[in-house]
Structure 1
Amino acid sequence: MTAPQAVIRPATPCDLKAVACICAHYVRHSVATFEEIPPTVAHWEGRLEELTERNLPFLVAESDGAAVGFAHASPWRAKPAYRHTVEDTIYLAPDATGRGLGAALLEAVIAESARAGMRQMIAVIADTGSDASRSLHRRFGFTDSGRLREVGHKHGRWIDTFLMQRALTTGQGRTVL
């Protein structure tokens, strides 16, 4: 399978069991997420509802009728002045990596966030020992904004996070793609 064989589309409630399963893998087996308990399908239902109400994208990569990855943009911070800044999230099923789906999801979540009027996108990437996520974000115009040292503790180790940032629109509101 390659990325063109997958369909990137808005998530629906029917996708959320697969989303929960994909996320649970990373919660249990990696430090890519700082969650320690896998979010339930009910959690994902609430997240889908919240992001839909905010006109923010929650997307899935579908292959052979099943969701094999997901991405969404969520508010960066709760304070009102941050309302034009979002944080991206992307996860793929373990057997769906290396096929271009992460790039397809990131490209789509950037475009949809820009269409929603967002101005900046932040990526918070855990230092997993692999540069894959940072490299992917760099390919899409993200630049390094900082490193937070030992801000997470999971699976018996302290974990750094990298902050990356990308403009979605110019000061005049024009989309930067």
Structure 2
Amino acid sequence: MNIRNAEMDDAKAIAAIYNHFIVNTTVTFEEQIVTDLDMAKRIADVQSGDLPWLVAEHDGTVVGYAYATKWRARHAYRFSVESTVYLAPEQLGRGFGTALYATLLKHLTGARYHLVVAGIALPNTASIALHEKLGFEKVAQFGEVGFKFDQWLDVGYWEKRLTTVS
């Protein structure tokens, strides 16, 4: 496995991974598929904000991605980010998610971010297990905050402190 910064040429593979989850699951609240161009713009937006967007490759194929975005726009939130990770469905349970997420956390720590927040649409035992394995702790849950596939969905929030900012 190789973990590296995403490039614009990765947008097609990333969109294909994400679109599976849009169409087939409630782990994302997006309901319309994302085009390759939309995904390329999202990657560029994240990276232009000096935040990481990483991909994991296995045998030359992108099998997952992880990135961080600013938690909120106000200046006082500048040391907090929200993380996202997705793997191709056929790659789940192979350790790629753990390696990819650990690399993302290492990048964020090196950039002196203090707190990472992760929102998880519930239920999602695999995502909860991944986050808690990496040291995240549950801090909140909003009931019936999303509606997809004719059902109300809760979202839980996990956090992980990375550094002490001085």
TM-score clears 0.5: yes
In the alignment, is residue 13 of structure 1 matched against residue 8 of structure 2? yes
The DSSP-based 3-state class of the residue aligned with 1:117 is: coil
In the alignment, is residue 91 of structure 1 matched against residue 91 of structure 2? no
> How do 1:27-176 and structure 2 match up within 5 A?
27-127=22-122, 129-172=123-166
TM-score by length of 2: 0.96
Cα shift at 1:80: 2.2
Distance 1:112 1:44 in 2: 21
Distance 1:159 1:130 in 2: 11
Distance 1:94 1:168 in 2: 29
The DSSP-based 3-state class of the residue aligned with 1:50 is: helix
Corresponding letter in the other structure for 2:22: V
Runs (4+) of structure 1 exceeding 4 A deviation are: none
Distance 1:165 1:35 in 2: 22
Cα shift at 1:42: 1.7
Corresponding letter in the other structure for 2:104: V
Distance 2:100 2:155 in 1: 21
Corresponding letter in the other structure for 2:112: G
The DSSP-based 3-state class of the residue aligned with 2:90 is: helix
Distance 1:56 1:13 in 2: 15
User: CA-to-partner distance for each residue in 1:6-34, whole Å, 9 max, x for gaps?
Assistant: 11111111111000000000000000000
The DSSP-based 3-state class of the residue aligned with 2:56 is: strand
The answer to whether the 8 A contact 1:55-1:116 is kept is no
Distance 2:64 2:165 in 1: 32
The answer to whether the 8 A contact 2:27-2:124 is kept is no
The DSSP-based 3-state class of the residue aligned with 2:143 is: strand
Structure 1: any 5+ residue segments left out of the alignment? 1-5, 173-177
Q: Which piece of structure 1 moves more, 80-89 or 66-75?
A: 80-89
Distance 2:81 2:101 in 1: 13
Distance 1:130 1:47 in 2: 25
Structure 2: any 5+ residue segments left out of the alignment? none
- The aligned residue for residue 3 of structure 1 is none
Q: Percent identity?
A: 39
